[in-house]
Amino acid sequence: MLILNLVVFLTHWTVSGALYINGVVVENGPYYFPDNTLDININSALSILNNDITTFSGTVNMDYGSGFYVTRNQNLLQYDVFILGQVMNNGLISFSSSGLILLAPRYDMSGLDNLVNYGSIFFVAEQIPLNSEMYLNAVTNMQMATIILYQGYLPVGQVNFGTNVIKNSGNIYLYNLEYHQQNSI
């Protein structure tokens, strides 16, 4: 038992409001983030399952080979993911929903000060016959790798990249989503 407690401590610990992930950590909702810093180290992952509303405001630092997953696969009232602050992604960020919900899923990274993506970002909405909403906007946007926004059903969902310039030397894919360009890419 002592060894198990030590392993949990070493993979998932907080210091003055910051959350540091070393290894693989899986949490089943409800789950609440500290509003400070989320550091996911190399070859580590944080996976949050079946959280109705996931909100994080602070700094997200994703190391190479790391993963940050927020997934819903149960029937829930709603499914919303909000990330505010800044994101430095060298790993994989995936927000995914499937199953029945009463309100359309919403993925919102529109309140970011800074988004730098050298990894992959996926927003996925499946098996939900409602118009999903996907927002990805920051004061500073540097997109150097891959962003995939996917809705696997009709009617068509909405995507919004905001009005700020996106410096893109990577790939941005939209599937079954309506996009009205308001910015320079």
Domain range for 115 is 2-179
Copy the structure tokens of residue 181.
């360009």
The CA-based dihedral angle spanning residues 67, 73, 75, 78, taken in that order and rounded to the nearest 10 degrees: 30
Contact 96, 120 (CB under 8 A): no
For the segment 69-87, the average pLDDT, to the nearest whole number, is 81
- For residue 143, being part of any structural domain is answered with yes
- For residue 159, being part of any structural domain is answered with yes
- For residue 185, being part of any structural domain is answered with no
Element (H or E) spanning 151, and its range?
Answer: strand 146-151
For the segment 173-177, the average pLDDT, to the nearest whole number, is 88
Spatial distance between the Cα atoms of 69 and 95, rounded to a whole number of angstroms: 6
Is the pLDDT assigned to residue 15 strictly greater than 70? no
Tell me which of 26 and 182 has the higher pLDDT: 26
Spatial distance between the Cα atoms of 185 and 178, rounded to a whole number of angstroms: 16
- For residue 174, being part of any structural domain is answered with yes
Looking at the 3D structure of the chain, how many domains does it have?
A: 1
pLDDT at 62: 94
- For residue 122, being part of any structural domain is answered with yes
- For residue 16, being part of any structural domain is answered with yes
Which residues have a Cβ under 8 Å from the Cβ of 181 and sit 6 or more positions away? 161
Which residue has tokens 């988004």? 115
Q: Around 116, how many Cα atoms within 13 Å sit in the side-chain half-sphere?
A: 7
pLDDT at 101: 67
- For residue 62, being part of any structural domain is answered with yes
pLDDT at 177: 85
pLDDT at 100: 65
Contact 145, 166 (CB under 8 A): no
- For residue 172, being part of any structural domain is answered with yes
- Round the average pLDDT of the chain to a whole number and report it: 81
